[in-house]
Structure 1
Amino acid sequence: MTMETTLLIIGGGPGGYVAAIRAGQLGIKTVLVEGAQLGGTCLNVGCIPSKAMIHAAEEFHKACHYAGDSPLGIRTATPSIDVGRTVAWKEGIVKRLTGGVGALLKKNGVQVVRGWARILDGKTVEVRGVEGGGSTGAGAANDAGGQTTRIRCEHLLLATGSEAVELPFMPFGGNVVSATEALSPETLPGHLVVVGAGYIGLELGTAYRKLGARVTVVEAAGRVLPAYDDELVRPVAARLKSLGVELHLESSVLGMSEDGKSVRMKNAGGEEVAIEADRVLVAVGRRPRTAGFGLESLMLDMNGRAVRIDNQCRTSMRNVWAIGDLTGEPMLAHRAMAQGEMVAEIIAGKRRHFMPAAIPAVCFTDPEVVVVGLTPQEAAKQGLDCIVANFPYAANGRAMTIEGTEGFVRVVARKDNHLIVGWQAVGSAISELSTAFVQSIEMGAQLEDVGGTIHAHPTLGEAVQEAALRALGHALHI
């Protein structure tokens, strides 16, 4: 079977499906190829399910807390958890979201071909259909399950995402799992060893601890969340300690023991030790998904393992585009979405460039961490003379009422004109402030703009205003 289209998108994750929806809205004939489930890693085994599991773990942890001596005066019986039902609830959320994506694609006239793509050249892709799959959407072809379809296109958009990094001496399988398997446990392990103290390892490690598992984290760097500065990380490290998470910093994993029941590790003192483990989560990072679909046939310019693009997401081959994790850091779903929308508009003839003033990054640890724009250290490296001011959550009334006084909001602004160049924050529910942070930078706000904006009381957002006021020298509540 042969098809012709204007735009062919490989990958139905956040970048790919947003590009397809926007292209459909603009009247571009579009085909989207996806071999697994629509929504990609983010909706199926990443952002959404992990936050669902984190929420479930937090609610269970609260219930356990209320069974003890709660200062709120709440008393409950000792709770238990049915992890199978928890996973089913999480899967229900995923199913509703992925189903919604499919409906939006169909509504906007996008043809979805279920199958695995292989690139033949910059204009031609061959798709091996998924058994029982086929095409959906406007003008859907007959069931293509098991068939091979050749698709010719004017524009080819690569949105294949990323994959978990596997340690060669500790391959996935059995008790060694990636985040994908960790998000759908059939049972809770007695002892979970997490390799890597980045955001994925800490998010899931903390969730498992709150669900009742013993958790040990092994990290090669000298502290957790090594990509962030000490001040931001300190409340997270303190919380891990209070939860009873065991940390082995400046330590390296050597592999599994012969019987597969222990993790071999070299600790900070150079000694080799073994840590018994019922399950091991390897969370040492993600890399662009470049293998298995014939990318090498295009001979594109690369940045290491990532596809090199310009500020319009064009690759080195004319009318071949790439977005999202395939193009390297920052590997964030919202970056991919913004790039996908832009590419669709450029193909439709609009004038667009991908030049955001800032892209927010959030760690859903306990407490949460947000980084937007330049940190004080990054501003100094760029030669900027900046004002840096913190406002602690402990001085925020709303933070007190939700028992979340650990953390702060920090603003970084130029000293000469008070232009805000960065925000960083750590605290309970701090992720919900990320929109205010990035919007102020994108709109070129100065400290006076934020300080002079009336913020609702009592809210956590008041900490944003107070940080700006403190930078100006007249904070009101500290």
Structure 2
Amino acid sequence: MQQIKTKVLIIGAGTGGYVAGIRCGQLGLDTVLVDGSDGLGGTCLNVGCIPSKAIIHAASKFETVSKAAGDGTLGITASEPAIDLSKTVAWKDGIVRKLNGGVAALLKKAKVKVIKGWATFQDAKTCRVESADGPITISAEHVILATGSEPVELPFLPFGGDVISSTEALSLDAVPGKLVVVGGGYIGLELGIAYRKLGAQVAIVEMAERILPLYDKALTDPVAKWLTDHGVELHLGARAGGFGDGKLSITTKDGEPLQLDADKVLVTVGRRPRTQGWGLENMGVAMAGPFVKVDDRCATSMKNVWAVGDLTGEPMLAHKGSAQGEVVAEIIAGHDRRFDPVTIAAVCFTEPEIVSAGLGPLDVSGRDDVITAVFPLAAIGRALAIEAGEDGGFVRVLASKTDHRILGVQAVGQHVAELSNSFAQMLEMGAVLEDVAGVIHVHPTLGEAFHEASLRALGHAIHI
């Protein structure tokens, strides 16, 4: 059996693991990265963030051409469009392969040894990897756990056949005639909206009383309006049951049984950390519920064992894992680092998009020391010029009444995802309203809405 000793062993090549590997290599640390699941880039690159956004982009293009058919739109007319989803998926797969190759090249440049295979730990610092070249035993001074997460499966709707997870939804060879989405969170809505744009009849079944229940109603109302306007069935406060003979059984919020016709049932009721099947129980690390417990250095309870990404808890976002991976690499190299962000902004790539950074109205409910100001995208020239001003979109700023420190920023509207970094940057830098108000924002851009919302919080918005 081949045996390897290394300074750093990383398990998982997702956004947390591969970024940790690159940074370790840059810092001159002997590093081995073991990848046994989705491929370099992990869930995000292979079956999550990137491919889903590619399908969403293609769906939006298809919708644009569809609008031009018949009477046309904006003076543009076109023939009725058709889609060959297998070709769309092939295009998406090409993007994934290109990015896979990019990650591989970056790891090679950083002199990180990548081993393909499934790792199983015998103790906290030693694992056995079943690789194509035979078993390998690896022992390390430091171990970084970056095993990511996996879709939650419902016991009465097991994945298989026409019951699919988000992974399978990104690789269908044809648009389903009728798609039922179980779960009204961001994953289900992103994919459900994309398939509605592609021509599928879509129904959404959500246990909560409204979609995207983790966001406040003002943010989700424009999304709910889009769904209603585009003929998406919403079954809120409802529970899904079994699936058979092309029908999904549900119980409505009134307790009535109902059968929904479905060619495919997409189950998106959440994700859970991938803690099974690789010997976590042999490592002696403390847990925090289903997650691995870490401190502000991403250190576990076992010395020199670290954890990053979805394995460590909410928010389960790729950019959080990447940031944690950098922090851990630098700590191992002797730097004084902590993972203590002011905010980790989140984006829903729905129609329209939603961004949230920092505190929202639900977090400050009942407080009288907070200023809240909203500026509608309907008053922004750029929004109107790109058909992004008529869907109820807005930017909202929350700030302290006493010192005007910005506490949170949210937005809903087309293309607002691109504002998320500006929101996070201002919060991370401890900006006050006057800081945003004092920046000359470029005209015409959607970012002007952030400027105007801050001016409105100060009592003197210009364009409203």
TM range (shorter): over 0.9
Say whether residues 1:391 and 2:372 are aligned partners.
no
Maintained 8 Å contact 1:376/1:386 = no
Pick one of 172, 191, 195 that aligns with 2:178: 191
Q: Tell me the SS of whatever aligns to 1:376.
A: coil
Paired position in structure 2 for 1:112: 114
Maintained 8 Å contact 2:207/2:236 = yes
CA positional deviation for 1:336: 0.1
C-alpha deviations, 1:115-138, integer Å up to 9, x for none? 000011111111000x3xxxxxxx
Maintained 8 Å contact 1:384/1:414 = no
Runs of 4+ in 1 over 4 A off after TM superposition: none
Q: Superposition pairs for residues 152-167 of structure 1, below 5 Å?
A: 152-167=139-154
Paired position in structure 2 for 1:378: 363
In structure 2, give the amino acid aligned to 1:459. Answer: T
C-alpha deviations, 1:140-193, integer Å up to 9, x for none? xxxx2xx00000100011000000000001100000000000000011111000
CA–CA distance in structure 2, aligned partners of residues 273 and 14 of structure 1: 41
In structure 2, give the amino acid aligned to 1:167. Answer: L
CA–CA distance in structure 2, aligned partners of residues 326 and 42 of structure 1: 14
The aligned length equals 460
Identity of aligned residues (%): 59
Q: Tell me the SS of whatever aligns to 2:301.
A: coil
In structure 2, give the amino acid aligned to 1:286. Answer: R
C-alpha deviations, 1:364-403, integer Å up to 9, x for none? 000000000001221346x571100000000000000010
CA positional deviation for 1:35: 1.5
Paired position in structure 2 for 1:62: 64
CA positional deviation for 1:299: 2.7
Q: Which stretches in structure 2 are left out of the alignment for 5+ residues? A: none
Pick one of 408, 421, 429 that aligns with 2:394: 408
Paired position in structure 2 for 1:95: 97
CA–CA distance in structure 1, aligned partners of residues 254 and 403 of structure 2: 49
CA–CA distance in structure 2, aligned partners of residues 163 and 340 of structure 1: 19
TM-score w.r.t. length of structure 2: 0.98
Pick one of 125, 145, 148 that aligns with 1:123: 125
Tell me: CA distance 1:403–1:70, structure 2 relative to 1, closer, same or farther (3 Å).
farther
CA–CA distance in structure 2, aligned partners of residues 421 and 255 of structure 1: 44
In structure 1, give the amino acid aligned to 2:22. Answer: I
C-alpha deviations, 1:286-317, integer Å up to 9, x for none? 00000000001113211111000000000010
Q: What RMSD over aligned residues (CA atoms) do the two structures have, in Å?
A: 0.9
Pick one of 329, 352, 356 that aligns with 1:367: 352
158-167 vs 263-272, which moves further: 263-272
Pick one of 272, 296, 310 that aligns with 2:257: 272
CA–CA distance in structure 2, aligned partners of residues 384 and 105 of structure 1: 51
Q: Superposition pairs for residues 164-243 of structure 1, below 5 Å?
A: 164-243=151-230
C-alpha deviations, 1:399-433, integer Å up to 9, x for none? 00010112000000000000001001000000000
In structure 2, give the amino acid aligned to 1:92. Answer: G
CA–CA distance in structure 2, aligned partners of residues 71 and 47 of structure 1: 31
C-alpha deviations, 1:20-46, integer Å up to 9, x for none? 000000000000000131010000000
TM-score w.r.t. length of structure 1: 0.95
Maintained 8 Å contact 2:359/2:398 = yes
In structure 2, give the amino acid aligned to 1:14. Answer: T
Paired position in structure 1 for 2:295: 310
CA–CA distance in structure 1, aligned partners of residues 416 and 174 of structure 2: 31
Q: Superposition pairs for residues 421-436 of structure 1, below 5 Å?
A: 421-436=407-422
In structure 1, give the amino acid aligned to 2:56. Answer: I
Paired position in structure 2 for 1:420: 406
Pick one of 40, 43, 47 that aligns with 2:42: 40
Pick one of 281, 291, 296 that aligns with 2:266: 281
CA positional deviation for 1:71: 4.1
CA–CA distance in structure 1, aligned partners of residues 21 and 230 of structure 2: 44
Q: Tell me the SS of whatever aligns to 2:364.
A: helix
Q: Tell me the SS of whatever aligns to 2:363.
A: helix
Q: Which stretches in structure 1 are left out of the alignment for 5+ residues? A: 132-143
C-alpha deviations, 1:210-249, integer Å up to 9, x for none? 0011000000100111110010000000011111111100
In structure 1, give the amino acid aligned to 2:321. Answer: A
In structure 1, give the amino acid aligned to 2:200. Answer: A
